[in-house]
A and B are shown apart, each in its own frame.
Chain A
C-alpha cells in the first residue's frame, strides 16, 4: 500500500454524509499543519482551499458515510482516483450516528423533518465506505484524534507502518494511571470493547467511555452487557450504550439488538 509513493505525495480529502469534524481535525493540527503542507501536496481539500486539482491522487482521505444514490456513485469515482484510500471517522468507518436510521423508516423521518419531502432523495440506510469500495486503512473516532492523523500522514510519507493500535481503551487508562471507573465506581464504561486512540480521554475526566472509536479487535460486547446488567443497568440503557456513533459496526449492532430482545 505504501510502496512507491512519490517524494511529495498528492493528498485529496473527500466528504460524504458527515459533520466535517474529522476534516477539521486536519486544520486543527495547526502546529503540524505547516510541516504537513510541506511534506505533501494538498491537491484537493475543498474545506480548506479553493484550489482544487484534478486526480489521480496518491492518498485519499474520506470522511462521511454513504446515504444517497449520488454518494454511492461518487465513492466509486473517488476510489478510482486514489492509489491509497483511507477512511476517517465513525461515519466513514461505521456509518456514523446517522446509521440510527437503519433501524427505522428513513422516509418517515423525511416526511417529518422537511417542509418539501419531495425534494429529498435518500437511501434507506447509512453505510460505511468499506461496504461500497475496498479501503486501505482507517482512522476511527468521532471525531478522529489529530495525533493519529498526523501519525498516519507521517508514516505514509516515510513509507513506514503507522502506529494505530487496535486494542482496548483500557490499556490507555492503565498506561496513564487512570483508575478504572467500571471497577472502582460502577460506571458503565465501553472502554473494554472500544478501540484505543483517544488517549482514554473520557475516563481521564471521570466519564465512562462512549465508544467513539468503535469496536476494538476481538471485542466481546456480550460479556460487557452482562457486566452492565449485573450492575443493575436496564436493557434499554444498554441498547443506547451501543447504539451511538458506531451503532452500525457489527459487534455493537449485535450487542444492541441482543439487549433489545432481552
Chain B
C-alpha cells in the first residue's frame, strides 16, 4: 500500500473492484453486510457477499400506488432510488422473540435470550434513510427509556451511504430537509459515477476501513461530477410538502371534511405504516403451548390502522378509518414534532408508492389545508 491513509475530509476514488474489497473488508471485520439486491418484483435489502449481488443495471418506476422494476441503459449498481423495505427491518425487526419461559417439574424458569444481536454493515443507505435512522434513534434511544434490542443493533452498525443521482417522482426529501445530499450519520459516503465511486470517510471507523482497500485520491473533476450528479437528482424532485407552520395548520384541520374523503379510499390495510422507515409501533403477543410447559413473548410490528391498536378497556378508541388516517397523518407531521422536536416523516415517498389505493400524504395535506 503506497497511498497515504485517506483523511476524513479527503475524497478518494474507488473502482468497482475497490467497492468489492470494501464489502470483503467489512465482512472480515465480522460485519453481516446488508445491501440492495433484486427480489421478487422489487429491489429489496438483504444479505450480500460481493458486488455481484447488487442490482446492476436495474432501476424502478414509481408513482402513487404503483412500482415497476425496469432495466437501465447502463449497468449502474445503485441506479435506483428506494424499494418497499427499509433498514428498520434489521434495526427494529418485524417479529422478535422477547423471551421464553419453561415449566419443569413444577419449577418455572425464564430462558436466556436468543444469543447475540447481529453486527450489521448497511451498504447503499440513502440520505432520507439516514434521516429516518436518526428519527428512530431519537424515538427508541433518545429518552429515559431505551429500547435495548434496537440499541444493541444500532451501536455496532456501520453505514455506507450512497447518494442519490436520480429521484423518483414520489420523493420529497428536499421538502423535509433530508436529502438528496447526505448530511451526516454515515461512516462512508459514496457517489456512483459511470466507472466507479467518489468516496469520503465520515467517521474514524470509515477512514480505517477505507485505508485498507485499493483507492487513489479523487480528482477535482471526479468530485465535481459527483456533486453535479447529486444536484441533478435534486433537480428531478417534483413532489413538495409545504412545512411552514404545518403543525398548527394541521391541528386546525382536525375536523376537515376531507378526512372522510380519505377514509372512503383508505383500505386500513397498514401498508403505509409497514413501509415507513420511521414508524416504530409494535404489539406484544404471549403464547403458550397446549401442554402449558412453555411460554413465549413475541414483539411484532403493529399499525395505528388496526382496530386493536387503540383497544383499551371497553373497546377501541379509534373505531373509524377516518380517525385512524387522521391519527397517522397528524402524528407524522404534527404531534411527532411536539413529542420529539422533529417530523416523523423524512420524505422518502414509500407510503405513497406502496399504498394500494395510491393515497398520497402530500396531496392530502394540500387538500386538508386548502381554505374552504
Contacts and interface: CB of A to CB of B under 8 A. Distances in A.
Chains A and B bind each other: yes
Interface of A: 32, 35-36, 38-39, 150-151, 153-155, 157-158, 160, 163, 165-168, 170-171, 174-186, 191-193, 206, 217-218, 220, 222-224, 226-227
Contacts of B307: 166-167, 217-218
Contact of B41 (A35, A155, A177, A184): A184
B269 A179 contact: no
State the main secondary structure of chain B at its contact with A. loop
B290 A171 contact: no
Given A157-B292, A220-B321, A183 B267 contact: no
Contacts of A220: 264, 266-268, 321
Interface of B: 39-42, 44, 65-69, 83-85, 89, 94-95, 264-271, 274-275, 285-292, 300-301, 303, 305-308, 321, 353-354, 356-358
B306 A223 contact: no
A163 B306 CA distance: 14
B41 A154 contact: no
Contacts of A176: 94
A174 B308 contact: no
A158 B268 CA distance: 32
Contact of B267 (A174, A177, A206, A223): A223
B290 A179 contact: no
A175 B289 contact: no
Contacts of B68: 184
A180 B301 CA distance: 17
26 contacts: A39-B291, A39-B292, A153-B290, A155-B288, A163-B285, A166-B307, A167-B303, A167-B306, A168-B269, A170-B271, A171-B303, A179-B41, A179-B84, A181-B41, A183-B66, A183-B84, A183-B354, A192-B267, A192-B356, A193-B269, A220-B264, A220-B267, A220-B268, A222-B264, A223-B266, A226-B357
Contacts of B267: 168, 192-193, 220, 223-224
A206 B41 CA distance: 10
Contacts of A168: 267-270
B22 to A, nearest CB: 25
B291 A180 contact: no
A227 B356 contact: yes
B268 A185 contact: no
B292 A183 contact: no
A189 B371 CA distance: 38
Top 3 A-B residue pairs of the complex, sorted by shortest distance between their CB atoms: A174-B274, A192-B269, A184-B41
A180 B274 CA distance: 12
Contact of A218 (B268, B274, B286): B268
Nearest to A153: B290
Nearest to B83: A179
Contacts of B270: 167-168, 170-171, 174
